[in-house]
Structure 1
Amino acid sequence: MVFELLLLPLFVLGCTEPPSHNLQFSERRKLLGPPVTEPNWEGIRIKTYFEASSSSSFSSSLSKEYIPNALNYYNHAIKVVKVSTLTVSSTSCLNYTIPSELNKGITDGDVAILFKYNATGDDLAWAQICEVDPDLSMRPILGVIYIQGTWENKTWEQIYAQVVHQIAHILVFNAKLLPYFSEKQGEWLGISNVLGSYYRRSSEVSYIKTSSVINKAEIAFGCNNLYGMDLASITSDTASSIHWSKRLMFNDFMVPDSDVYYVVYSDISLALFQDSGWYQANYDYSDTIVWGYQAGCTFFTDSCVTDGAPNFSNFCNLTSGTSYCDATHTFKGMCNLGTYTDKIPAEYQYFSSPYMGGDDKYLDYCPVVMPNSDGSCRDLLSIPVDLNYKAYGEQSGDSSRCLEGTYVNKLSNFSINYHAGCHKITCQGSIATVHIGQEVIYCTPSGGLQTIRGYNGVIKCPPSDILCRNLPCINGCSGRGLCVDGSCNCDSGYSGNSCENRSETLMNALFFLMIFVII
């Protein structure tokens, strides 16, 4: 039997359609008989095969670092009913030959993924499912991930998130898999219990309405009667890859494009794995959202900006200051509000001028503060120590956060202007102590403007719970550890603030877990 399935790629530098493919049903039931009656849930084993069009430092990093790290993350975060032997029926997929050992059967994998890398062309990536197994309630067992370009302008965090993202498209984030979500083996929920839709400003919006997704989203957004989680608009009737709305889930790893930073591996995304019935999610390896956290139900229903004024602190409308704080209060940046040469679509016009809006269409043209390249408050190298410390009392580090104001040291020759600054934060109870040079102020749950001894101007305190809440770990602990209260507990053999360091022995062992071929 065959089942036609088309996938939409991850948007990187625009929409790039992957080749279509007739999805195969595995014939495993004929070969092995029925599955075991007592499920044996264990960390998912993803068997990978890597092919590169040429040898390069980036292809080496993909095979030796990014992919193994992503596999390690999934092995911790997702459990699956272990199969004694994984056998696929396909001999080719998208003109790629399936390794013969998969047709004979392997004992060290629950799903097989062929990674294909081509160094030439624009940076892009897509994922395609090749085969599912009816004996496993239509669980995917074979797929292809294609990565192209040098990715030299992307950060380590963005590339790693990209690999984790593409694997998710093979495992669960696919519209054609939604009808086969089940509570029990063979008992499908039905598409009407998984996917819903409504109309917003003349456009149809699809949303996920499964129980775990709704539960995690209600807790995160502070909305007790949430209908579901909106999906990004699908640009083709044949497209099947699904992503969260970036307007709601800005820096989650499953938004449509790679133009994100401080990537969050949210419990909402892992909840979709849980709701499929194929997987069990280990939420210890997920984060609570930062973007939209406790913003309430109106964050879903209200416009980001009305008559030029932001309705939520996540959005902006000012460009006159020298810098602003992003929504996480961990970066200094600028509001991406600008003017287009053509009119913005009518449903996304928030200002008196139909040409004005944010520069990201995946954010529904909502303007947001995007970080400067040297704007991280947690990066010790981001602050010009002498200049900014003397003028604004700034200090970067893991406990530093971003605040705004017109404050400037009275002894400085800097003029008073609106700006953002990075400052060390210490918290006790509901009070956040903000260190500005040698002085301190105390931010309360209600926030507000304060003056600083020895400084002209004022500083704007956000609510103290924003400054004091635990944040996701940097780089998601690189897929090599567990984030606890904002700090990484690294796996054995790894160390560093983001588990970025590893022993040579472990490095060599990880390499030999992969099959590396230069074609």
Structure 2
Amino acid sequence: MTSLLFRIGFFAVAFIYITFQATWSSATRCKHEVPPVSSVITRVAVYSKRRFLRQLSPSSLRIHVHYDESIRLLSDFDEIKRCRYIKNGSHILSGNQGHGLKDTDFILYIASLPTARCHTGKVLGYAAHCQLASQTDRPIAGYINFCPNTLGSRVSDRVRSLFVTKHELLHALGFSSSLFAMYRDHQNRPLTPRDPTTQLPALGLAKIGSHAVYQWSDKVVRVVERRWMSAYGNHTKLAHIVVTPTVLQVARKFFDCPTLDGVELEDQDEVGVFLTHWEKRLLENELMTATYTNSYRVSPITLAMMEDTGWYLANYTMSHDFSWGGGLGCSFAMASCLEYMLERRQMGRQINPFCQQIQPPLHRTEDAGVQVSCTPDGVSYGFCNLIHHPKPLPREYVYFVQGPQSFKTSSFQEPELASGFGTDREKPLDTVGGKIALANYCPYYQEIEWERKWDEPTINTHCHTLNNYKEPKNNFRLEQFTPKSICVQHLPRWRLRNNKQVFGSPVEGAGCYSFRCSIIEGGLVIELAGGIALPCVVPGSTVRVKACLKSQGLSIDGQLVCPECSLFCDPRECPLHMRNFSQLHSSLRKFTRAHTISYRPRHYSLPTEAYSMHNQTAISPRPWDRAVNLVQPQEIVPDFCPSSSSTPSLIVIPQSLRFVILISVHLFSFFLS
């Protein structure tokens, strides 16, 4: 029996926190259940007095959770009204009248059944609404079915499980193409015209996958033409954009694009994905995109979408620190990733959040190692997911061309960005593109995970995940995984040395470290394993890292790139001359805070699910304190190892580890409904 523990409260309606004990194994997915018109009961009576009182005093959304053995055939519950079904276009009543549920706004039926849908494409689960209230069309009942064949028990999967649960719940509450025609304005007026007789949407039906849904008006979602640049020149691309007023207001401010005409919905024509998620290219790790590839965030844009249903008020102070695309302008929000990257290059800036670093072949990693970089949210690192696809990509999604020296020498080179003019002098690389099709094959740094033995937890590159702790003797980048760790970039050529040889680090480019803020010490101080602390005074400058792994006899020699102090510390803890240090002067991107409230420093609190370990004592040391205590001072010490250190017989371990990492690391993505 799957165990669920719910803590309700935060959608004030902003969101619902759910601690979910069951987890999913990797390589699984789910697709949105678009309910056919005939399966949704509309115009369910909700007493006017109750609706009026709820409007007077907005509070957290009250959800009643019912664990049911069936999704389609419900038993007779005391709370259910008389059943209503549609026959010849009319509603027919049957059964007995129930007593209803007190203090409830939404009934969520949960099951874990091995349905036929669970056996198609390794579906994680699916959800939908099934009843709508009269006079408002707000969903008042829905269901989620979790596919039991994909449920696992690994602690490291809890965050992913929590993501899927929240994601599916928002679909049932309103984020669904099958509900667009039901949206209302803030005065409860339908945004889509209604039939005066049935009070149902009057614009006919639209085909979504195998089901028909009510057609929405262009006050909700509109089709526009976008100019789309690729290696073959300019194309015209149709985009479905959300144009509701709050979404527009929030998105224009978030992207820093005053002329933004709407936020794109997913354009990949897959059942359960098309038009019912945000476009992956624009909002990569947002909760309501269609794949899970990085640690998720709830953005203010999704909260604005829920508010524009006409059924909820969003508490924007509870949105997450979401940085993907924040402040990057209209070319990012409205153009192809190639056009955006070319514009950034012309301005002399980095092309974040995209990338063009293709991983070297296996035989080349002895020189370069596995190349990683911080993800845009700054709390994990990953590969640039630019790969060679087995088949040519659609022409509009080809962004790279062959460089003048590519494939002519033995040196490994990155592909070059196309000019966008489609000239004969350029040779498009038709099979080179980002791994994720839903992101229009735009490449970006994608969080990764390492597979381990079956009885060991999977580890990943998220800086807050305590299970990622490394044994001191194998901690070649001196990383620290704690609730307040951040990702910090490295300069290339992080080296490990003994008396006779020099080795490359198995993973190069970035690492996870804790930090502290101290104006006395120069502002931001990066804390490495072994008690090493490095002040970072000037953003974008480098600081030298020197340490010794005594048991390995290895000296560590590398350089960290300093982040900006004000990203993580109260400005009063930063040097006065650096308090207004802008992105124009820094080689780093600024991590955009998600919501528009007065400044507050970031506080990194451990998620509740991290404490939900079995067999815990009532009072015990914090897990990250135990990890820190394991790093004995005699194992990792500052400065290089003395020249008299003995050479260990297993000095080739770094190269061996590099090979193991390459064959076991995979970029992961999960399709979501």
**If the length of structure 2 is used for normalisation, what is the TM-score?**
0.56
The answer for the alignment partner of 1:143 in structure 2 is 142
Partner secondary structure for residue 187 of structure 1: coil
CA displacement at 1:382 relative to structure 2: 2.1
1:423–1:503 CA distance, 2 compared to 1 (3 A): closer
Using the TM superposition, name which of 206-215 and 162-171 deviates more: 206-215
Percent same amino acid at aligned positions? 21
With 175-184 and 236-245 compared, the bigger mean Cα shift is at 236-245
Name the amino acid aligned to 1:394: E
AA of the residue aligned to 2:223: S
Indicate yes or no: 2:237 matched with 1:207: no
How far has the Cα of 1:466 moved from its partner?
5.0
Name which of 371, 375, 400 aligns with 1:323.
371
Distance in structure 1 (CA, Å) of the matches to 2:52 and 2:225: 43
Distance in 2 (CA, whole Å) between partners of 1:220 and 1:502 is 41
Q: Which residue of 1 aligns with 2:447?
A: 371
Q: How does 1:54-453 map to 2 (within 5 A)?
A: 87=81, 89-90=83-84, 104-119=99-114, 121=119, 122-135=122-135, 137-148=136-147, 149-152=149-152, 155-190=157-192, 191-200=217-226, 201=228, 202-233=236-267, 235=269, 242-257=276-291, 259-305=292-338, 312-318=351-357, 319-320=359-360, 321-327=369-375, 328-352=377-401, 353-373=429-449, 374=459, 375-387=461-473, 389=475, 391-402=476-487, 403-405=489-491, 406-408=493-495, 414-416=502-504, 418-427=508-517, 431-436=523-528, 438=532, 440-442=534-536, 444-445=538-539, 447-452=540-545
Question: Which segment is superposed worse, 236-245 or 295-304?
Answer: 236-245
Structure 1 residue 358, shift from structure 2 partner: 1.6
Q: Distance in 1 between matches of 2:330 and 2:102?
A: 47
What is the aligned partner in structure 2 of residue 28 from structure 1?
45
**Residue 90 and residue 416 in structure 1: after superposition, are their counterparts in 2 closer, same or farther (change >3 A)?**
same
Partner residue of 2:62 out of 21, 45, 58: 45
Q: Is the CA contact 1:251–1:262 (under 8 Å) kept in the aligned structure 2? A: yes
Task: State the Cα RMSD in Å.
Answer: 4.1
User: Aligned partners of 1:179 and 1:225: how far apart in 2?
Assistant: 25
Number of the residue aligned with 2:73: none
> How far did 1:45 drift?
1.6
Change (3 A) 1:424 1:160: closer
How big is the shift at 1:404?
Answer: 2.3
Secondary structure at the aligned position of 1:269 is classed as: helix
Query: How far is the alpha carbon of 1:239 from its aligned partner?
Result: 8.1
Which amino acid in 2 is paired with 1:24? I
Residues 382 and 445 in structure 2, CA contact (< 8 A), matched pair in contact too: yes
- Any conservation in 2 of the 1:182–1:188 contact (CA below 8 Å)? yes
SS of equivalent residue, structure 1 residue 281 = coil
Deviation at residue 255 of structure 1 after TM alignment: 0.7
Partners of 2:237 and 2:322 lie apart in 1 by 26
1:324–1:404 contact (8 Å) kept in structure 2: no
Q: Helix, strand or coil: the match of 1:204?
A: strand
Which whole-Å CA distance do the structure 2 matches of 1:452 and 1:180 have between them? 58
Q: Which amino acid is 1:362 matched to?
A: L
Paired AA for residue 423 in structure 1: Y
Alignment check: 8 A CA contact 1:21 1:130 kept: no
Name the SS of the counterpart of 1:212 in structure 2.
Answer: helix
Q: Are the structure 2 counterparts of residues 15 and 349 from structure 1 closer, same or farther at C-alpha, using a change threshold of 3 Å?
A: farther
Mean Cα displacement is larger for which, 111-120 or 272-281? 111-120
Whole-Å separation in 1 of the counterparts to 2:434 and 2:158? 26
Q: Give the SS at the match of 2:391.
A: coil
Match for 1:51: what amino acid? D
Matched position secondary structure for 1:183: coil
The one-letter code matched in structure 1 to 2:218 is S
Q: Is the 8 A contact 1:129 1:170 kept in 2?
A: yes
Letter in 2 for 1:379: T
Distance 1:419 1:49, change over 3 A: same
Aligned with residue 603 of structure 2, among 474, 477, 486: 486
SS in 1 for 2:308: helix
Give 3-state SS (helix, strand or coil) of 1:198's partner.
strand
| CA drift at 1:206 | 1.3
Q: CA deviation at 1:173?
A: 0.5
Contact 1:378 1:400 in 2 (8 A): yes
1:139, CA displacement in angstroms? 0.9
> In the TM superposition, what is the alpha-carbon distance from 1:269 to its structure 2 partner?
1.1
Instruction: Show structure 1 runs of 5+ residues with no match.
Output: 1-10, 54-84, 93-97, 474-482, 491-495, 505-519
Instruction: Report if the CA contact (8 A) 1:383-1:395 is conserved.
Output: yes
Matched with 1:479 is none
Structure 1's 434 and 264: CA in aligned 2 closer, same or farther, altered over 3 A? same
Distance 1:498 1:197, change over 3 A: farther
Q: Give the Å deviation of 1:178.
A: 2.7
Unaligned runs of 5+ in 2: 1-26, 71-78, 87-92, 193-216, 229-235, 361-368, 402-428, 450-458, 548-555, 570-589, 595-599, 617-673
- Structure 2 contact 30–125 (Cα < 8 Å) conserved: no
Deviation at 1:488, TM superposition (A): 4.1
- Paired AA for residue 42 in structure 1: S
- Report how many residues are paired: 439
Distance 2:528 2:496 in 1: 10
Q: Which amino acid aligns with 2:374?
A: D
**CA, structure 1 residues 428+113, in 2 after alignment: closer, same or farther (shift >3 Å)?**
same
User: What is the alpha-carbon distance in structure 1 between the residues aligned to residue 96 and residue 59 of structure 2?
Assistant: 23
2:464, 2:485 within 8 Å by CA — same for their partners in 1? yes
1:236 and 1:378 map into 2 onto residues whose CA distance is 33
Encode CA deviations 1:132-151: one digit per residue, 9 max, x unaligned: 1222x111122232322323
Q: What CA distance in whole angstroms lies between the structure 2 residues aligned with 1:502 and 1:291?
A: 35
More strand as a share of residues = 1
Q: Give distance in 2, aligned partners of 1:457 and 1:107.
A: 62
Distance 1:145 1:263, change over 3 A: same
SS in 1 for 2:145: strand
Per the alignment, do residues 19 and 379 of structure 1 end up closer, same or farther by CA in structure 2, a change over 3 Å counting? closer
Instruction: Check conservation: 2:257, 2:333, Cα contact below 8 A.
Output: no
Amino acid at match of 1:382: N
Q: Note the alpha carbon deviations across 1:326-363, whole angstroms, 9 max, x for none.
A: 32332233222211111112221112211111211112
Q: CA deviation at 1:168?
A: 1.0
Moved more, 159-168 or 201-210: 201-210
Q: Equivalents in 2 of 1:458, 1:304: separation in Å?
A: 31
State the shift of 1:282 in Å.
Answer: 2.0
